[in-house]
Structure 1
Amino acid sequence: MTDTAADDQPRIDPSTRVRLHDLAVRRDRDEWIVGRLSTRTFVALPAAGARAVELLGEGCSVARTARILRAETGEEFEVAEFVRDLAALGFVARIGDRPVPDPTPPRASLPWLRPHRVRLALRPALPVLVGVLLAAAVVVLFRRPDLVPGYRDLLWSPHGSVVLLSGAAAGWTLLLAHELAHLVTARAAGVPGRMRLGTRLQFLVMQTDISGIELAPRRHRLTAYLSGIALNLSVASSLILALTLTDTGTTAHRLLAAALLLALLPLPFQCMVFTRTDLYFVLQDLTGCRDLYGDGLAYARYRWRRLVRAPQIGPRSPRITRADDPSTRLPPHERRAVRLYSVVLVVGTAACLTFMAAVTIPLDVALLVRAARGLGPEHGLARNADSAAVLVTLGGINVLWLVTWWRNRRAADRRTRG
């Protein structure tokens, strides 16, 4: 039987030349990041690999590329196999006279938002303006400590349904603005970006995939990672300044104070780097790690297997030795960061799941049961409205978390099988 799949593969011989798609290249320590922004695909290559990409892009044949690399490094390279790897990544447009099937790029959010329209987001003056606004707010709080927000500021109305619905609307609006800040700064750097719902442990989040930003200069990368936090701080700072213009006790003052707290509430969550928050990507970039979360998880699993199997070792039991340590294959600077991060990952995840089991789930169940019991003709209109608001808002969020988790899980399984 003929292998038609194999027959469809373009033949690569020493005289073959290839045409590459537009690729971005950036040096990172001892490696080179090579990628294609339109498909958000990138790979880390050694210097010889980056040089091979350069030579192939200039039109050198497979044989000539191999000869130049041998002359420059003194080593032999399987350039034909390297071309096949590049084609699998979607970096090759043609092999010889045959086009290479191009994978459909992921859909970008707000495609009408062109890079030249949002270039202002990467201007160096913008972080300075954010800093000035934040400094002004800190000065105001130092002089007016009564403006420091507390949890009671959220209870701006005596009607719980009004507080719940308005808080949910304001919270999701701020969340959308936070993610839009990531999208705008990434788009300004030429990265398409895509916003979607996701889950982080027990948290329902909106996240922006800005894969490809790794190819941008460091200042642009950090700007894209921190833009959401900068937006929250800017909104909070503006609200603090606005509070000084309103009288304490007025409805306007109470609404501004509630909005201030809602703008600040997401910031502590950003410190939970074990859930891959914005600060996680900053940490990953500054430590020079390729996949801090994945490598940290692999190292934590290795330590767990050693701990569990140690008492069970028998004459025929497979031993888990230091040679099985996945972190030993990493460069020294990555190895240290990964091992430290694995501790944060394990402790933080355990704390979050414990809090969910001990507090979040019992509280949600109690609120939902109370709301269900508050429905019926024997209760007044206000009680029914409050109960319905709790059921719709709290119940809807939990259902949305389950649907989002299931959808993303199935998508990940399809990618794994594919």
Structure 2
Amino acid sequence: MSDAGTTTVALRDLSVTDDGEECIIGDPSAGTFINVPAVGGVVVRSLLAGRTVAEATAEAETFAGETVNVASFVETLDELGFVAHDSAAGDAGPTPTAPVQQRTWFTGADERVARWFFGRTAWTGYALAALFSLVTLVVRPDLLPLSTDAIVVADFGISALIVLPVGWSITALHEYWHWLAARALGLQSRFGIDVRYGVFLVFETDLTQIWSVARRRRYGPQLAGMAVQGVLLAATLLAEVLWRDAPFLRLLVLLNLATLMWQAMVFLRSDLYAVLVTATGCTNLWETTQLRAKAMFHLISAAERQTLNDASAADRRVSRWFVHVWLIGPVFAVGYLVWYLLPWISGAAAWTVAGLAASPATGTFWWTLASAVALFGPLVLTAAVAARAGVGALRARAGRTTPA
């Protein structure tokens, strides 16, 4: 038997990114990344260069100034699927990050074209648009929208035909800009559907591959959606200043402000939550925060306590204060629901009940029924996605507790 130290290890096409005192290693094609001590990056870079395990060990020990068990580390890499084997690895596609998830990475725009929208000049424009919107709303508070601005006309059915496609278009633009910013870095992304607190349906862009670039380069893709909405909001407010009493403009202001407020709710894993994680150097803040909340209420198990203790220093440090934001967050989420959705939903429900009370032989009945499907369809979709996520969680828990 040959000495294992003289063998080479064929790794997949891994990315190795220095991140402070640690290193992020991952397989961009599978969307899987781990955070390891800097010496782990030295080992992976050495193995990727074709050096033997013995040579990689020598480099790692020179770097760390102590003994390094490279063989054990290679076994861990193999368990994560980072070692290439003869059988096709990664055919199952990227790891899903949402209950409903596109299975393959999405590519399209040339990154050279995408860079035009995210250079220094472009970001200056985004910042000026945000500043204009802020100053305008402070100087002209009468331009702040009301939830009833979603009712563009008296007929809720017609309002739905206007509001829903406009809202979806804004969401699509937001997510597209995330993707475009990723393309500007030469990265790919995926799209998915998730639910927050079992009530809020969200469409998200999976930007997992940004972990393969330096921390300072991750902010662009994370803030891109809000940036383009800031431009749209500024343009709409300017139009409102010039042309008042335009219901459609009020609707655009409402939808843009409502979605931007959503992104400010960091306790919902929003865009600004991603920025927070990047800025603080966290790697698994969400799980660490949940475990810390369990510990606060003495609901944590011994295994979970160990997981909390093993979390990165940054995750433990930030979770000490973020857990309070996470616990209080639902109060703000309910306030958002009451301000933004409840008046519109209650009005739509009253209009629907009145319309369905008409005879099925009338056009009013069928128009109301069709409109109700459009109005309440997203709520049904939210419930379906939440149920799917719940079933998946129960199956995963059953799998962990079922005896071998």
* Unpaired stretches in structure 1, ≥5 consecutive residues: 1-10, 308-319
Aligned with 1:205 (options 198, 202, 216): 202
1:245-290 CA-to-partner distances (Å, cap 9, x unmatched) read 43x34xxx22122222111111222222111111111111112111
- Tell me how far 1:371 sits from its aligned partner: 2.2
Task: Report the secondary structure of 1:205's partner residue.
Answer: strand
Instruction: Provide the residue aligned with 1:76 in structure 2.
Output: 67
Matched, 1:344 2:337: no
1:303-344 CA-to-partner distances (Å, cap 9, x unmatched) read 22269xxxxxxxxxxxx89x9475443454432311211122
Contact 1:137–1:240 (CA under 8 A) maintained in structure 2: yes
Matched, 1:284 2:277: yes
Task: Report the secondary structure of 1:43's partner residue.
Answer: strand
What is the one-letter code of the residue matched to 2:191?
Answer: M
Query: TM-score scaled to structure 1, two decimals?
Result: 0.80
Q: How does 1:368-383 map to 2 (within 5 A)?
A: 368=349, 371-372=352-353, 374-375=355-356, 377-378=358-359, 383=364
Distance 1:381 1:254, change over 3 A: farther
Taking the aligned partners of 1:70 and 1:214, their CA distance within structure 2 comes to 26
Matched, 1:392 2:365: no
Instruction: Provide the residue aligned with 1:87 in structure 2.
Output: 78
Taking the aligned partners of 2:332 and 2:137, their CA distance within structure 1 comes to 32
1:28-54 CA-to-partner distances (Å, cap 9, x unmatched) read 221011222222221111122111112
Contact 1:299–1:326 (CA under 8 A) maintained in structure 2: no
Instruction: Provide the residue aligned with 1:196 in structure 2.
Output: 192
Taking the aligned partners of 2:139 and 2:346, their CA distance within structure 1 comes to 43
Query: TM-score scaled to structure 2, two decimals?
Result: 0.82
* Unpaired stretches in structure 2, ≥5 consecutive residues: 95-102
Matched, 1:303 2:290: no
Q: How many residues align structurally? A: 387
Taking the aligned partners of 2:69 and 2:169, their CA distance within structure 1 comes to 53
Aligned with 1:214 (options 211, 214, 221): 211
Contact 2:19–2:215 (CA under 8 A) maintained in structure 1: no
Matched, 1:334 2:330: no
Identity of aligned residues (%): 28
- Tell me how far 1:209 sits from its aligned partner: 0.9
The CA RMSD measured in Å over matched residues stands at 3.5
Instruction: Provide the residue aligned with 1:7 in structure 2.
Output: none
Matched, 1:38 2:29: yes
- Greater shift after overlay, 17-26 or 48-57? 17-26
Task: Report the secondary structure of 1:149's partner residue.
Answer: coil
Matched, 1:15 2:11: no
Instruction: Provide the residue aligned with 1:131 in structure 2.
Output: 127
Contact 1:229–1:267 (CA under 8 A) maintained in structure 2: yes
Task: Report the secondary structure of 1:195's partner residue.
Answer: strand
What is the one-letter code of the residue matched to 2:150?
Answer: L
Distance 1:338 1:78, change over 3 A: same
What is the one-letter code of the residue matched to 1:219?
Answer: R
Larger-gyration structure (1/2): 1
Contact 1:37–1:190 (CA under 8 A) maintained in structure 2: no
What is the one-letter code of the residue matched to 2:74?
Answer: V
